[in-house]
Homo-oligomer: A and B are copies of this chain.
Amino acid sequence: MPIQGSVRARTAREVRSWDMAADVVVVGFGGAGVGAAVEAASRGAETLVLERAGGPGGASGLSGGYVYAGGGTSLQKACGFEDTPENMYNFLVAATGPNPNTDKLRLYCEESVSYFDWLVSMGVPYAQKFYSEPTWQPPGEYGLVYSGGENAYPWNEIATPAPRAHIAHMPGFGGSGRGSGEAGPGSVVLKHLIAAAEKLNVRHHYDMRVDRLVEADDGRIVGVVAARYGEEVTVRARRGVVLAAGGFMNNDDMKRQHAPHLLGANLVGTEGDDGRAIRMAQSVGAAVQLMDKAECAFGLHAPLLVRSMIVNLQGQRFVNEDTYPGRVGQAILMRQNRRAFAVFDLESHEVAVPAGTTARRAEPTWVAETLAELEQLAGIAEGGLESSVGYYNKYAAEGRDPMFRKNPKWLKPLHAPFGAIDIGSDVFSSFSCFTLGGLVTPPSGEVIDVDGDPIPGLYAAGRTVSGIPASGYLSGSSLGDSIFFGRKAGISAAAPA
């Protein structure tokens, strides 16, 4: 297990001298870390951020820049949508369960309007334009989109649909599947927050990896031990340490222990997502929760996805294809062992992928004149696809989908010739995941131990903890949660001990 030496806390007695000191020491300079730093510093706490990478941003900086917000934000209103904190809460309780984090959801929904205003006040730009098509990520000139299946079954029957992904403005970005590699709208959000932190005199060190906590005899966390270019650096935290160092998608041992279904999938995030901060806290008795949970994106062109039948190895459907694509990915991951197929007819394919589309992952793996042939090619159980398509076509002709309630506008009987895309096979290893489980915190950010008590001096936020996307994920819920509860942790850590 040890990747880079022990994560075991050092006792304060073992630390002979401190190389640095601050009131609040923040571990990680992504969305959660910068949120914590800004709030701690603006409360007068001397704040120091230690980041193991060569620069700031973390996974948040690489993200699509969705912040899940609602309850009637200025952007929702400008785009003509009504929403209330209660309506948003009702949706999130249903959509992030089982075991939604209701305390965090309550606060998040109540403060969502002012949270969004705060982002705007930090300088994050938003285009006041709603994108209505199914997508993972709309073109850069749009600022609002559905990102959690709010307008699809079963959520549309639980709460009034409202789009809540608020996307930082980045002209020219996206539009054909997810932007990958290139810096995305997440970098726009982070740029403004980092500028705010610097204006508040937040100090930071890059290339400094925090390796261990330092624990006083009474159990209080009083600092950290870090490594910079192989040299050990001791850093005293007068008031508190905030762990904001990401999840564990980049640690195969932890995946094997907690989420073996993620082994072999691609990483969403950074090299630093090795779970070290989670384990550092565990070494002093911190609890963890929902460590099996994850989100997985799979690179299927959304306009094709919504017109397809997504089926398993038996040829059965298991999800409405017009829900948020990330939910389809979760269903394939958690319930189908990462094997599924998108089945469509070539007529729909032409509509979804018109000539000249540069969409990735939109070409059929197989084309066939009959479903029996397609079953053979794909290794689907004999007759299974034929049976499913028979059912689907019968009701699609009536504009209905009694089994999964896909919106009638996407329902059309499938006719030969057929095509299918192999999702999740070795050939099409397109699952890119990040972990949702982690440390246990109340909304105020204290790290909770196995007794259910806070560990004095220790705070955490972002994907180092289990947050808003507890079990179910919506795009924007992780970045939104990270910055929001990073801020809360920063406020708590800055309070004089």
Contact = CB atoms under 8 A, between A and B. Distances in A.
Interface of A: 1-2, 6-8, 97-99, 253, 256-258, 260-261, 263, 279, 282-285, 287-292, 314-317, 335, 337, 381-384, 387-388, 390-391, 394-395, 402-404, 440, 448-453, 471
Interface hub of A263, A314, A448 (most chain B Cβ within 10 A): A314
Given A257-B440, A404-B314, A288 B285 contact: no
Contact of A471 (B260, B316, B317): B260
A314 to B, nearest CB: 5
A451 B285 contact: no
A169 B334 CA distance: 40
Nearest to A285: B283
22 contacts: A2-B451, A2-B453, A6-B453, A7-B450, A8-B449, A98-B261, A98-B263, A99-B263, A256-B289, A257-B287, A258-B290, A258-B291, A260-B290, A260-B471, A282-B282, A283-B285, A314-B404, A315-B403, A316-B316, A383-B394, A387-B390, A387-B391
A1 B451 contact: yes
Nearest to A261: B98
A451 to B, nearest CB: 5
A100 to B, nearest CB: 9
Contacts of A402: 381-384
Contacts of A279: 450-451
Given A258-B291, A284-B285, A403 B381 contact: yes
B390 A7 contact: no
A256 B98 CA distance: 9
B404 A260 contact: no
Contacts of A282: 282, 285, 287, 450
A6 B258 contact: no
A387 B402 CA distance: 12
Nearest to A471: B260
Contact of A452 (B2, B290, B403, B448): B2
A3 B389 CA distance: 53
B387 A387 contact: yes
B253 A452 contact: yes
A450 B285 contact: no
A330 to B, nearest CB: 13
Contacts of A263: 98-99
Given A2-B451, A8-B451, A283-B285, 19 more contacts: A1-B287, A1-B448, A1-B453, A8-B285, A98-B337, A258-B291, A279-B450, A282-B282, A284-B285, A288-B288, A314-B317, A314-B404, A381-B403, A381-B404, A382-B402, A383-B394, A383-B395, A383-B403, A387-B388
